[in-house]
Amino acid sequence: MRLKSYFSGTVEAAMDLARKELGDEALLVNARPATPETRSLGAFEVVFGLPDGFREPPARVTGPAAATAGASQDRLMQEVTELKRQMERMGQSLRYPRALPASGSLESAMYQRLMDADLEPALAQQAAQGTPLEDLFETCATLGRSATRTKNAGVTAPRAVVALIGPPGAGKTTTLIKLAARYGLTSRRPAQIISIDVNRIAAADQLRTLAAIVGIGCDVVETPAALAQVIEEHRNKDFVFIDTPGFGGAEMNDAQELAALLASHTEMDTHLVLPASMKAPDLARTMDRYEMFSPHKLIFTKMDETESFGPLINESSRRSLPISFLSAGQNIPDDIEPASKQEIAQRVRGRELLSLGATA
């Protein structure tokens, strides 16, 4: 089966366009708001699957297609990633192939509300048709890989080696201190903070100062090899928290060595820290970039700076990664909470929908 997209100002208009050109044989696999890259073609995109052997009219070369000819390798990579994402969405849509809910129905109101929360159309459709949002994603509010243990004073206890990774300014350092204070200090079990944030002296200073305030030791290392060694030196610590630098889109080459170490370390519990306030397509792209670290869990920060929480579920579902913690403010150590399915689902559904459901 091949895919073909149609763009227009409304989903209905895009569908009309597609049906006129393709007839009834083509299968609707997705309908969604256009991405920033394709928005110039229309506010909505519908994607149709064309059966093998389907003959379509000669393609018209439009703006983006023409632009692609001169695109850089980076741009090409982005397009491949976007295509991959579309294929994943198509897979979801094919598993739930019902048409969009009829307008005016409660189902349609729910669908619209969930779309407004930036939930993926395929997930919004499932939820509007009765699948609880809670069944569409995972949470796991734990620190450490459960198999890892440490021995202190003859007592064997679970050991947590936790690394926070994520884009610049996501809130990694602040979140790390909150977790160290909340889980390391209050349990009175030995903890250590390690920073591999060497390029920016000020960043290491920020962490050292915060670590001193919460009363936890802090080492600063310069290379991934040194990091591995210091983790080993602290093998008697119950908690090791590792802060890493934020790598921007153009800096991912610099991240490779660190990514390889974290991905291969058997004790490592790597949490990808992402701002909930990031635009949905940027969030998806950032997650794709950080795949090389093989993260185990997702932490969403800046929950206080957005009202659209659908992307939390989109990304957890798309990558099959559980959400571990949520941060909703700058206060250390208070503004952090273990992620709960009910809480996240309620935020995505919103209040109006709850009352709408209650009156139905």
> What are the DSSP E strand ranges found in the chain?
2-8, 27-33, 44-50, 149-152, 155-158, 160-165, 191-195, 217-220, 239-243, 268-275, 297-301, 323-327, 336-338
Report the DSSP pairing between strands 2-8 and 44-50.
Answer: antiparallel
| Nearest to ligand GTP of 329, 338 (CB atom) | 329
Q: Which stretch binds Mg ion (CB under 5 A): 156-164, 169-177, 188-196, 234-242?
A: 169-177
Eight-state DSSP code of residue 286: H
182 binds, among Mg ion, ligand GTP, none (CB under 5 to 8 A by kind): none
30 binds Mg ion (CB under 5 A): no
| Nearest to ligand GTP of 138, 335 (CB atom) | 335
φ/ψ (deg, to 5) at 242? -115, 120
324 binds Mg ion (CB under 5 A): no
Instruction: State in angstroms the smallest separation of the CB of 220 from Mg ion.
Output: 12
Instruction: State in angstroms the smallest separation of the CB of 333 from ligand GTP.
Output: 12
Task: Please tell me the distance from the alpha carbon of residue 192 to that of residue 264, in angstroms, as a whole number.
Answer: 21
Q: At what angle do helices 341-349 and 106-116 cross, to 10 degrees?
A: 100
Eight-state DSSP code of residue 223: S
| Nearest to Mg ion of 26, 227 (CB atom) | 227
Q: Are 298 and 143 in contact (CB under 8 A)?
A: no
150 binds Mg ion (CB under 5 A): no
Nearest to 191 by CA among 217, 209, 224, 221: 217
Instruction: State in angstroms the smallest separation of the CB of 171 from ligand GTP.
Output: 3
173 binds Mg ion (CB under 5 A): yes
Residues at the interface with ligand GTP (CB under 6 A): 166, 168-174, 203, 245-246, 301-302, 304-305, 327-330, 335
Instruction: State in angstroms the smallest separation of the CB of 178 from ligand GTP.
Output: 8
Instruction: State in angstroms the smallest separation of the CB of 172 from ligand GTP.
Output: 4
**Number of amino acids touching Mg ion (CB under 5 A):** 2
Binding site for Mg ion (CB under 5 A): 172-173
